[in-house]
């Protein structure tokens, strides 16, 4: 038996880091939105053990991969460690980009394993399992839009965007999460995102207001020249707003029409190799077949 699952990426429309907790993790708050830029995960039942193959990336397919970790965590939860599954991971989401590609893959594995094994676990339980794999995994399971808080695993669903076109592009620089948080810890005078205002604008379908309220403290703390240059190039196309997502380095621009987004993407493709047009979606990881 085999199942195929979509693994949608996410964007941070707002993102703030509130400080370091007693456990050493950072407290954060973010309005997240799922988009239709997806990896694809295929899971096939085997005689025993977990195996992994990765297409479209030079990632090492071993137990350190989040997809492998998610499969192991799922089988441990349902007490079927002897179950066999082979995972084919087809990568399309850029890596070290702030779009939760690894977490999206883990979420897709959890949703796929639930279908493959017939375990019948709820979305809430899959999110609980996923939280132990990665902070963004619960959101990637649930999808749509949510306010994430705590270390990112506490979610409050909000009305998702249902309109707009997004151009996402990755400059020739990657950012490690550790590097990003070191920059945050030493930064001063960072902006304060308006999370509530963003949620209100999304619920009202007010795209200009959504664009105006895009805010990410990592962008300001890191102040990466390559990111700044790419944002300046995007602004030539007069988007409703543009910002970096997550801890970087992908930046995205919001447009009201496909025509405007396509013009921007075509311009950027003359210089950048990783340019994507995507749309907001109302769900998360989903079984396709």
Q: Could you give the residue numbers annotated as active site?
A: 10, 136
Give the closest residue to 265 by CA, choosing from 246, 243, 239, 244: 239
Q: Distance between CA atoms of 133 and 72, rounded to whole angstroms?
A: 10
Tokens (6 digits) for 230: 């790419």
Spatial distance between the Cα atoms of 200 and 99, rounded to a whole number of angstroms: 23
Measured CA to CA in angstroms, residue 16 lies from 31, 133, 148, 204 at distances of 9, 22, 10, 23
Alpha helices by DSSP H, 153-224: 177-186, 195-204, 207-213, 217-222
Cα–Cα distance for residue pair 80/74, rounded to 1 Å: 9
**Which pair of structure tokens corresponds to residue 225?**
């020249």
What is the rounded distance in angstroms from the CA atom of residue 213 to the CA atom of residue 2?
Answer: 43
- Asked if 146 and 32 touch (Cβ cutoff 8 Å), the reply is yes
Q: DSSP secondary structure string, 80-147?
A: -TT-EEEEEEE--SPSSSSS-HHHHHHHHHHHHHHHHHT----HHHHHHHHHTT-TTHHHHHH-SEEE
Q: How far is CA 35 from the centre of its chain?
A: 8
Q: What are phi and psi of 235, to 5 degrees?
A: -65, -20
Cα distance between the two ends of the chain: 11
């Amino acid at each position: 038996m085999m199942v195929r699952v979509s693994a949608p990426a996410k964007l941070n429309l707002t993102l703030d880091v509130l400080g370091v907790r007693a456990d050493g993790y950072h407290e954060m708050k973010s309005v997240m939105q799922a988009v239709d830029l997806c990896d694809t995960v295929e899971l096939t039942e085997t005689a025993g053990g977990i195996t992994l193959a990765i297409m479209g990336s030079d990632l090492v397919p071993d137990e350190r991969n989040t997809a492998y970790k998610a499969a192991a965590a799922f089988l441990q939860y349902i007490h079927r460690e002897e179950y066999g599954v082979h995972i084919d991971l087809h990568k399309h989401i850029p890596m070290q980009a702030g779009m939760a590609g690894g977490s999206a893959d883990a979420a897709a594995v959890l949703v796929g394993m639930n279908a493959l094994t017939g375990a019948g676990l709820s979305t809430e339980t899959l999110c609980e399992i996923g939280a132990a794999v990665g902070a963004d995994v619960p959101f990637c399971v649930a999808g749509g839009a949510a306010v994430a808080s705590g270390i990112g695993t506490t979610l409050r669903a909000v009305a998702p965007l249902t309109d707009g076109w997004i151009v996402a592009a990755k400059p020739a620089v990657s950012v490690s999460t550790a590097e990003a948080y070191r920059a945050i810890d030493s930064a001063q005078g960072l902006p304060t995102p308006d999370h509530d205002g963003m949620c209100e604008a999304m619920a009202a379908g007010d795209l200009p207001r959504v664009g105006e309220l895009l805010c990410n403290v990592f962008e300001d703390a890191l102040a990466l020249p390559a990111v700044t240059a790419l944002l300046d190039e995007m602004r030539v196309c007069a988007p409703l707003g543009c910002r970096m997502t997550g801890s970087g380095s992908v930046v995205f621009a919001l447009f009201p029409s496909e025509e405007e987004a396509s013009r921007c993407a075509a311009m950027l493709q003359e210089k950048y190799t990783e340019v994507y047009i995507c749309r907001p979606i109302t769900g998360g990881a989903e079984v396709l077949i």
